[in-house]
């Protein structure tokens, strides 16, 4: 791509919120070993400028997301000719795609997965967008398999990864949010969660901030020893109580057969390296959350853990353990219905907020507690994250007599690591550059562009012409996802409606912005309707959303349901780009 961004008016903007890791060094030529820890975008920009001082390149370290629209605003996108994307998740790609459609910018999406690679070209008015089609969802492991019936080490690793988040990430985050603003936390919990989820959130906060939170490393060891007993002994004992080794199903078949491996309980042994690995990692992870000095002396921890008294566990009758995901879904539906019944007739959310606050610790009682949640990081060998997940996954594998895995394999599974192949990276980069040349040269024919699908392992190289956008129609006019109504200048609601009647022969009968309805005559009282008709669109938007329009926002995206002038339904119309001063 020599020459791009080198003229006076030319610029290249690059952003990446990630930092350079050792594993990045072998598949690119911009980073060196002394760059480890530096931001990728900044380092890449500096390296390119060193190669070609004439190139105008500016780096950012912020993700392109809803939260950073004040950075990547109208002015930022207006000066772009196109966007090249190399993201690793679908949601981020779809967000970039929506922004490019909104600003009518060319967009090239690329991705690779081992030996596989793809390139999709999106050109305004010529092609469909990235979001126009969706890949089928990845197959997921059934919940019951993870919870109670694993038969592969991949299952035990995924369980360990979820277990890590449920102990060391999510509850501390919830407790921290509660401490920062108790009332806002209670309002969000009341508004956005089911009764079951509310109870879980409240219990998480109480566990993190309650009277039994650790005050010393010895307390952390005690907690870890009881956690071991709960996860690898008690839970399994309860499972075997519900479904004994010789249990027969209603169909006369052995319950523990096929992929259902009959587990056995583990008895803690401080001389067992794997058992002590778990205590060592869990104790230090908990200590970090509460700013308690960590201890890395295994001998000392071994001496302390044998002093911990663990109460004897007795299985209980009446405990429900789901045999399959159908039972899980039925139970969730039942809980949802019960939650809806409790809410029925309750219009005053303030009452529920006060009820939630009454179940949580009093803010004044927890002022002195400082919390720092863990954010999973697989590549730091000093943070105990992979130590815990490795020990937990292998202990669970031992429960079910599944062959253990070494740390490197567990790290690959837990971190969802797919080996990066430099050949694939180089090839997909070349394919992207070919398409960049085309939109820089303003090619206007769809047959000039090519989407690519490659698998070097087969080998397979497939190239196809991009798909044109779906054509829709309102009245006698054709439109696609790239079209919109441009409305410039502030208007009252009455002026807005009259404008569409006069200019487009359309009568709006509902106007919305996102999930907020700005205008709907069928649901408005006559008094408020008369008043709202004289109010400006931006004023109505702020009233309905209960929020001020940010200073960097110069336009609103409005959606409409319309009739024609004869009061016939018009099925679909383009969105409205409403620009105000």
Is 153 within 8 Å of 130 (Cβ atoms)? no
Q: What is the pLDDT of residue 346?
A: 46
**282 and 388 Cβ atoms separated by less than 8 Å:** yes
Q: Which residue has the tokens 């492991």?
A: 141
- Neighbouring-strand partners of residue 506: 564
Domains and CATH numbers, the chain: 12-137+419-464 (3.40.50.720), 151-401 (1.10.10.2660), 477-579 (3.10.290.60)
Q: Indicate the burial class of 345 (C-beta count within 10 angstroms; 0-12, 13-18, 19 or more).
A: exposed
User: Would you say the C-alpha torsion 538, 539, 543, 548 has a positive or negative sign?
Assistant: positive
The pLDDT value given to residue 326: 83
- Give the Cα separation of 539 and 492 in Å (integer): 9
Distances in whole angstroms, Cα of residue 296 to Cα of each of 168, 219, 284, 434: 19, 15, 8, 54
Tell me the mean pLDDT per 10 residues along the chain, length 581: 80 91 80 91 92 92 91 92 88 92 95 91 95 76 88 95 96 93 85 77 91 93 97 96 92 91 96 97 97 96 96 90 80 68 50 81 87 90 95 97 94 81 89 92 94 94 96 92 94 94 93 89 69 90 89 92 92 93 85
Catalytically active residues are: 144
Q: Give the E-state strand segments of 133-173 in sequence order.
A: none
Burial of 491 from C-beta contacts in 10 A (0-12 / 13-18 / 19+): middle
3-state SS assignment for residue 455: strand
Angle between helices 385-399 and 407-414 (to 10 degrees): 100
Q: Is 111 strand, coil or helix? A: strand
CA atoms in the 13 A half-sphere facing the CB of 314:
1
Residue 73 phi/psi, 5-degree rounding, is -100, -165
Q: How many CB atoms lie within 10 A of CB 422?
A: 11
Q: Is the pTM of this model over 0.85?
A: no
- Look-up of token digits 């996108």: 77
CA distance 522 to 119: 47
């Amino acid at each position: 791509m020599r020459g791009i961004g080198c003229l006076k008016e030319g610029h290249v903007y690059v952003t990446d919120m990630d930092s350079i890791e050792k594993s990045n060094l072998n598949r690119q030529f911009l980073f060196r070993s002394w760059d480890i820890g530096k931001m990728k975008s900044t380092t890449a920009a500096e390296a390119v400028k060193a190669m070609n001082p004439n190139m105008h390149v500016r780096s950012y370290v912020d993700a392109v997301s809803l939260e950073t629209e004040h950075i990547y605003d109208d002015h930022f996108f207006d000066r772009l000719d196109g966007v090249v994307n190399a993201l690793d998740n679908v949601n981020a790609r779809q967000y970039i795609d929506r922004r490019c459609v909104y600003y009518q910018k060319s967009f090239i999406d690329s991705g690779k997965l081992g030996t596989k690679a793809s390139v999709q070209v999106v050109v305004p008015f010529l092609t469909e967008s990235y979001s126009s089609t969706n890949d089928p969802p990845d197959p997921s492991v059934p919940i019951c398999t993870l919870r109670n019936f694993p038969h592969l080490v991949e299952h035990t690793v995924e369980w360990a990864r979820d277990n890590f988040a449920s102990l060391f990430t999510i509850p501390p985050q919830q407790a921290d949010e509660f401490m920062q603003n108790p009332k806002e936390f209670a309002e969000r919990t009341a508004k956005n969660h089911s009764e079951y989820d509310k109870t879980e959130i409240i219990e998480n906060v109480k566990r993190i901030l309650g009277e039994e939170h650790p005050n010393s490393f010895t307390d952390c060891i005690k907690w870890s020893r009881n956690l071991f007993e709960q996860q690898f002994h008690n839970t399994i004992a309860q499972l075997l109580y519900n479904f004994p080794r010789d249990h027969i199903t209603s169909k006369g078949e052995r319950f523990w057969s096929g992929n259902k491996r009959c587990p056995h309980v583990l008895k803690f042994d401080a001389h067992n390296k794997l058992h002590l690995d778990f205590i060592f990692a869990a104790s230090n992870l908990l200590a970090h959350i509460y700013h308690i000095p960590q201890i890395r002396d295994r001998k000392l921890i071994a001496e302390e853990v044998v002093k911990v008294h663990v109460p004897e566990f007795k299985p209980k009758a009446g405990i429900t353990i789901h045999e399959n995901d159908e039972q899980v879904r039925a139970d969730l539906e039942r809980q949802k219905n019960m939650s809806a019944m409790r809410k029925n007739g309750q219009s005053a959310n303030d009452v529920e907020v006060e009820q939630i606050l009454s179940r949580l610790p009093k803010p004044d009682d927890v002022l002195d507690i400082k919390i720092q949640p863990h954010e999973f990081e697989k590549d730091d060998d000093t943070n105990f994250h992979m130590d815990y997940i490795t020990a937990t996954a292998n202990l669970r594998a031992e429960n079910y007599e599944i062959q253990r895995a070494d740390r490197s394999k567990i790290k690959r599974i837990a971190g969802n690591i797919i080996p990066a192949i430099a050949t694939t990276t180089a090839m997909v980069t070349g394919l992207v550059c070919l398409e960049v040349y085309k939109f820089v040269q303003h090619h206007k024919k769809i047959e000039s562009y090519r989407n690519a699908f490659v698998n070097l392992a087969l080998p397979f190289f497939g190239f196809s012409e991009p798909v044109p956008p779906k054509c829709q129609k309102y009245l006698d006019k054709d439109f696609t996802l790239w079209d919109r109504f441009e409305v410039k200048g502030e208007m009252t609601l009455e002026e807005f409606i009259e404008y569409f009647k006069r200019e487009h022969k359309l009568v709006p009968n509902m106007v919305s912005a996102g999930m907020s309805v700005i205008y709907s005559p069928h649901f408005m009282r006559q008094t408020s309707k008369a008043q709202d008709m004289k109010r400006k669109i931006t004023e109505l938007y702020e009233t309905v959303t209960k929020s001020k329009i940010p200073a960097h926002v110069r336009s609103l995206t409005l959606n409409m349901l319309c009739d024609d002038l004869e009061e016939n339904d018009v099925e679909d119309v383009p969105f409205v780009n409403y620009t105000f001063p």
